[in-house]
Chain A
């Protein structure tokens, strides 16, 4: 809501962020040199498979990394100020009031023994210092906002359907008037019709409240429906970044192309299964060079040895040796 005062400058900047997990004495790099900027009111889709680092990226931004994770380099800036993302206590004032998260499993995130209106009112009381009556009034307002009749607020979580519970989660995320909402697979467990309702709700809330949204999902078509921009992640790195229209019309990275091709699309009329060969990468022994090269149909010699940097390309960015910004590089690579 305060975002409208800002011009189109970046609300959130992620700069060279790398996060490592310690696991049984091993150090696993979950994300590697991730950089991007989010503008107020913008919706970015973070797409990748399991182990691609999309969730780690989002949790790092919200300061919700697990205790065995370590930010090994880079920083996150919010309205120009550096966020203490690896300090849980220092992040507390920022979280929920500036950046909030909607998790996937709504049933686990709600306390089964409290009425939902109480659970929504609680953050208002604790974070915004509202009185009991004021917080309840705010909770009713929030319920109406997400399309639940306020009287349903006296229900317990188990009395609500999956879609309703997800709406409650959204209401809770909005309680402290954040400017960024991170959705961690918010519709994955829902039926398509309910998913459409939730995505529509998110879209409406975005324009009403000028919310910036980061949507984490494995489903490209959800992003196509709900976001302005897409970032495709693979093995901990952003491999392609661009507007939805651009990426779906003309994907540059071979991985993006294969992902789009693998979505059944009756509108194309072509009934063909195009499998992507190989298995998703293993973080313990990541392939050398470009992590996608063992599965890439158009890999060339250099792909196995040298990591392609994420370069500006047209309107977006792409990390692929076949799409180097300078032609010399491309020629050199082929030679």
Chain B
């Protein structure tokens, strides 16, 4: 691990939301239960490092981002920034120095821009609120600079525009400019390109990568897309049901995953394969259980094709499986073999019979999985309530 302890560190971070019970529950004082959105996460981000947080919806990846940007408050664990404990800091004025250095980019740029503010006001807002400029000339300079580095040129043309007058890509650039305006050291980007057209995505990614290269800005990139994470990140952290299941260098996670969930995620990702015919890998069955009813033992065991008795009883700790590579799986050592097996099954050189054996083996394991868990209702978003 690089010496990252002095920048951003999450220690056993925990965000539990109480479930609001009905009137009767409240009157009778019945406990309605908790949603364990984030359930003990350790993560370091180094200066100038790009870390991707990958997971499905309900994995808690967005909540982690909101804790770091102080939009959600942890119920346990610590958030350390340059060694300072930021866990319980609250209030706009107390957080001003922190906000100056940690900013956020949102997924839906249309929602993230106040429809009644002009682009200038939007980008100027953090500069004004954090009192980073002395006069209006300086303000206009900083706004221009931010718009230009987000790729909106010439900046002056955009000052007076309203969000609805911009294209989707331009809106996302305005959101980025708003975050850049204060020259932060860490940006949390929550699915910044998932709502954009394919041809615009790469442009926005380029802007983000340039920021790191030019200003040594660290980036926590939250996404559901493993190949995208591989493309942009130095390290990838894979989340499942509020827990980190695997973390390591982008190449290691992509080519040498050591957790069955990462393997499943990677198999499920649609791929552009050149010159290879379609070979159906067994899709992982079932769906992510609700964060209010987390399975006992390893939380992935009901869907895991490799689950053994131990997985049903004991929660596996994260263990080192390689340089800078941690996996929380009792059978992490065997995952490698298995993923190789699957990898072999994918290439056309394997005998059809063997291929069938592999896939039926995995299928059987899948079948013994969670038909009970399938189709759990969507819970209300834990942050926003019902």
Contacts and interface: CB of A to CB of B under 8 A. Distances in A.
Interface of A: 49-50, 148-149, 152, 155, 158-164, 191-197, 199-200, 203, 218-222, 224-226, 245, 248-249, 258-260, 262-267, 271, 273-277, 279-280, 295
Interface stretch (B15-23, B89-97, B184-192, B375-383): B375-383
Nearest to B58: A191
Given A259-B198, A279-B167, A280-B167, A193 B272 contact: no
A199 B200 CA distance: 26
A161 B255 CA distance: 31
Contacts of A263: 198, 227, 272
Contacts of A225: 270-271, 278
B56 A158 contact: no
A193 B206 contact: no
Interface string B170-188: 1000000000000000000
Interface residues of B, number: 51
A222 B278 CA distance: 12
B268 A195 contact: yes
Contacts of A196: 267-270, 283-284
A62 B227 CA distance: 35
B351 interface: no
Contacts of B199: 49, 258-259, 262, 276, 280, 295
Among B225, B231, B270, B371, find the residue whose CB has the most chain A CB atoms closer than 10 A. Answer: B270
A257 to B, nearest CB: 12
Given A225-B270, A279-B167, A193 B197 contact: no
Interface of B: 56-57, 167-170, 197-203, 205-206, 209, 224-228, 230-232, 254-255, 264-265, 267-275, 277-278, 280, 283-285, 287-288, 371, 374-378
Given A221-B272, A276-B203, A200 B57 contact: no
Contact of A249 (B265, B275, B378): B275
A1 to B, nearest CB: 23
A279 B206 contact: no
Contacts of A192: 56, 224-226, 265, 268-270
Contacts of B280: 200, 203
A160 B375 contact: yes
Q: 10 closest A-B pairs (Cβ-Cβ)?
A: A264-B231, A196-B268, A49-B197, A221-B270, A191-B56, A264-B227, A276-B199, A275-B202, A225-B270, A275-B203
Nearest to B290: A161
A230 to B, nearest CB: 11
Contact of A164 (B168, B277, B375): B375
Contacts of A277: 203
A224 B273 contact: yes
A273 B202 contact: yes
Contacts of A191: 56-57, 224, 288
Contact of A195 (B168, B201, B270, B272): B270
Given A224-B273, A271-B230, A273-B209, A161 B287 contact: yes
